[in-house]
Structure 1
Amino acid sequence: MWPTRGIFVLERMRAVAGSPNLRLDVMAPVPYYPSIAVGWRRAFARVPRMERIEGFDVYHPRYFMTPKIGMTFYGLSMGLCSVPAMRAVTRSAPIDLIDAHFAYPDGVAAALLSRMIGVPLILTVRGSDINVSAQLPVIKPWVRWALRIARHVVAVSQALAERVAELGVAREKIAVIPNGIDPHKFYAMPREEARAKLGVPKNRPMILSVGNLAAHKGMDVLIEAMHHFRETEAIKTGTGKEPLLYLIGEGPDRIALERKIRDFALEDSVRLVGSLPHHELVLWYNAADLFCLASQREGCPNVVKEALACGTPVLASPVGGMPEILHSPSMGVLVPRSARAFASAMRDALMREWDRQAISRLGQEQTWDRVGQRIRELFASARQAHA
């Protein structure tokens, strides 16, 4: 349904599947929805029960979900409704371990299945599941139960690991394994070449952000920052040229962001590009002078890691795992989450000489191959302890 979402899960699966004698089947439940052409959720009805994606068998059992009011039972519903599909998988080959992503509702469903078929669970937490879902009183007990059932809990940042420990999980069973990068997909190239291929202007500074058009991603903060930049900062860059801001992604706030662009008369300076295939982003990262992320919360944002791997310096709000990613001032700057702060930081960053090749080398250090090796070690540890 949304092929650009959860790419980091697919990338990790590919890395883990590189081991011989390891078979991965995927269970990706979707909410039940009747086959009627009403509302955006009608897309759920068109999802096949089983499909093959990039070499993986992917099963889509249906679970009952009543929007908002039934949130407490999403995990339970997902788990129980996945039992028939799980039994079908076990008939063709025994399951030795469950590797689940996101604590709620998926982690709860996986914990239930883990208990039912008697295999160990590895549960990876990624950000909003712990920072948001686990903070809701009706959800927190479910999340804590799933974390307790898991043999190992993988956190994609140290900051997230601390939040998991606050939920009562023993630190010795928490492994911090950040997301990786594929250096064959994200690498540095000449900026002029990237801009020529994209057909974007060559004579103006270019700022890029990639993410869901939702409030917590801070696209509105960046648009307002562009307004302040026009008012106070452009002349201070020494060129007097106002940068172009490109926002890549889709989401519920698109109409509100379009309105904000009009209100600030920024039609010539801010472009909403829409959603793009993952493999096309390498050109945009390389074309940009600067990558910005003004998120309210994050786990381990892959868009930042991808930008760095392409050699693009980053300005980002100091949330979640961001301080761990921008561990060197040569890679970028942590910026307070306000429009004025980002406008000022944009000016300073555009005036600075960055070593893009050095940024790319640092950004490519944590590869998916390294991540895959560490995950396979956890798999072996969990199976050995369970034997």
Structure 2
Amino acid sequence: MLRVLTLATLFPDATRPNFGIFVERQTRGLAAHPGVEVQVVAPIGLPAWPFCTLKRFRAFSEVPDHEEWRGLSVHRPRFLTVPGAGGRFHVGALVHRLRPLLAEIRSRFPFDVIDAEFFFPDGPAAVALGAELGVPVSVKARGADIHKWGHEPGVGVQVRGAGRRADGLLAVSGAMREDMAAIGLPRERIRVHQTGVDQDIFVPQDRAAAKRAWDVSGPLVVSVGALIARKGHQVVIEAVARLPGVSLLIAGQGEERAALEALIDRLGVGDRVRLLGPVRHGDLPALFAAADVMALASASEGLANAWVEALACGTPIVITEAGGAREVLTDPAYGRIAERSADGFARAIAELLSNPSPQEAVRRGAARFTWAANTAALVEHLSALVEARRSRCDAGNAQLCG
């Protein structure tokens, strides 16, 4: 029996049902694997009073400390964050909060390995606690945890230190592995671990009928991602503004909403560009299937789940050369890599609209991204770390053994 403690600050809850949904889906696959048991610790960072009374934090008071979440046993400890400190104190506060909790969990669930699903602050905290408990630690890099936190003053050193001390490292794409190596992490110990997509749920549909459900007729572009500058929604809006008769639906929420609304008004495209707000993950297959093109102008990515989910629905994608873009777009039928500009995206979208590929040809681009493959690779990776630790313990290195 392989017992895994999954540590993930990127994990959904009742207030954020889409937050880290791909981590949840991966973890459910792991827990369903024969011979594997999983417990999840999904910490929630909250500032001290009076900041914790702000509207965006108040809803967390309704989230239980422990619950059964979609078949998983999930602990949700709160840890202290310091506004304006650039994350410098996140790791220390998280270790302080998790130390007694992990000891309590381990007294009844003797986990063999800690699986940290985001590099910051999860990774450094997991490595510190793993050393104390004598269990191996794996840390996975997904995108912003390396691209942002890996370069942040006062925080990057914690990220790099955790990467060098972790027993195992995972990256969502080959490009992500190179980005990790570029900040000094040991490339030879980084395993590429690609995401999955539910191939029975994300499927092609009758596109005209799917459009009617969203009150759209004519060519449709869809963009899915948080409304933050890094996702580049303004680029896609300006691109669609250059394409008469083309509609755009954007699913997501975030700090850029007001700025995007102002841009839509300024460009006079409110009749064909809509901000949908947050869309339930279960509704995304219908949204992707309605689109002629999915466009996402990200400044950086690891390997976006939205890319492969759109492909599985038979919808080609237009994306920037970010992260694992070239690892996904291996055939022109799957879409285009475009310059991160309105003109660049407008040209690529227009090309796909004028010469569409059959939905089944596009769908082949997602065929290798399965949750079964994701689970099998993760079980193999974590089992190897546990076996390596046991071998070293058997060889007499008592300091490694809990």
TM-score in terms of structure 1 length: 0.93
- Contact (CA 8 Å) 2:46, 2:57: kept in 1 or not? no
- Please state whether the residue corresponding to 1:146 is helix, strand or coil: helix
Q: CA deviation at 1:193?
A: 2.9
The equivalent of 1:238 in structure 2 is none
Q: Give the one of 33, 41, 60 matched to 1:19.
A: 33
Q: Give the one of 359, 364, 383 matched to 1:361.
A: 364
- Please state whether the residue corresponding to 2:323 is helix, strand or coil: coil
Aligned residue runs from structure 1 range 113-152, under 5 A: 113-152=129-168
- Contact (CA 8 Å) 2:28, 2:71: kept in 1 or not? no
Identity rate, percent? 34
1:287 partner amino acid: A
1:201 partner amino acid: V
- Please state whether the residue corresponding to 2:121 is helix, strand or coil: helix
- Contact (CA 8 Å) 1:296, 1:319: kept in 2 or not? yes
The equivalent of 1:200 in structure 2 is 215
> Residues 30-57 of structure 1, C-alpha deviation per residue, up to 9 Å, x if partnerless?
1245597533222233322111101111
Q: What is the root-mean-square deviation of aligned Cα atoms in Å?
A: 1.5
- Please state whether the residue corresponding to 1:12 is helix, strand or coil: helix
Relative to 1, partners in 2 of residues 1:37 and 1:167: Cα closer, same or farther, differing over 3 Å? closer
- Please state whether the residue corresponding to 1:175 is helix, strand or coil: strand
The equivalent of 2:239 in structure 1 is 225
The equivalent of 2:334 in structure 1 is 331
Aligned residue runs from structure 1 range 125-274, under 5 A: 125-196=141-212, 198-202=213-217, 204-229=218-243, 234=244, 242-274=245-277
- Please state whether the residue corresponding to 2:89 is helix, strand or coil: helix
- The whole-number CA distance in structure 2 between the counterparts of 1:38 and 1:251 is 16
Q: Give the one of 10, 29, 48 matched to 2:43.
A: 29
- Please state whether the residue corresponding to 1:201 is helix, strand or coil: coil
- The whole-number CA distance in structure 2 between the counterparts of 1:294 and 1:70 is 26
Relative to 1, partners in 2 of residues 1:206 and 1:106: Cα closer, same or farther, differing over 3 Å? same
Q: CA deviation at 1:195?
A: 2.3
- The whole-number CA distance in structure 1 between the counterparts of 2:292 and 2:45 is 41
- Contact (CA 8 Å) 1:62, 1:82: kept in 2 or not? no
- Please state whether the residue corresponding to 2:68 is helix, strand or coil: strand
- The whole-number CA distance in structure 2 between the counterparts of 1:184 and 1:99 is 27
2:221 partner amino acid: I
- Contact (CA 8 Å) 2:220, 2:293: kept in 1 or not? yes
2:306 partner amino acid: V
Give the gaps of 5 or more residues in structure 1: 235-241
Task: Count residues in correspondence.
Answer: 374
> Residues 81-111 of structure 1, C-alpha deviation per residue, up to 9 Å, x if partnerless?
1112112211212111000011111111111
> Residues 231-285 of structure 1, C-alpha deviation per residue, up to 9 Å, x if partnerless?
xxx4xxxxxxx11100011111111111111111111010111111101111111
> Residues 112-148 of structure 1, C-alpha deviation per residue, up to 9 Å, x if partnerless?
1111111001110001011111011311110111112
Q: Quick check: 1:301 aligned with 2:304?
A: yes
- Contact (CA 8 Å) 1:311, 1:356: kept in 2 or not? yes
The equivalent of 1:237 in structure 2 is none
2:131 partner amino acid: R
1:383 partner amino acid: V
- Contact (CA 8 Å) 1:123, 1:154: kept in 2 or not? yes
The equivalent of 1:347 in structure 2 is 350
1:304 partner amino acid: W
Aligned residue runs from structure 1 range 15-164, under 5 A: 15-32=29-46, 37-69=53-85, 71-164=87-180
- The whole-number CA distance in structure 1 between the counterparts of 2:80 and 2:309 is 36
- The whole-number CA distance in structure 1 between the counterparts of 2:378 and 2:139 is 11
> Residues 322-373 of structure 1, C-alpha deviation per residue, up to 9 Å, x if partnerless?
1111111110000000011111222221101312111112313220110100
- The whole-number CA distance in structure 1 between the counterparts of 2:356 and 2:71 is 44
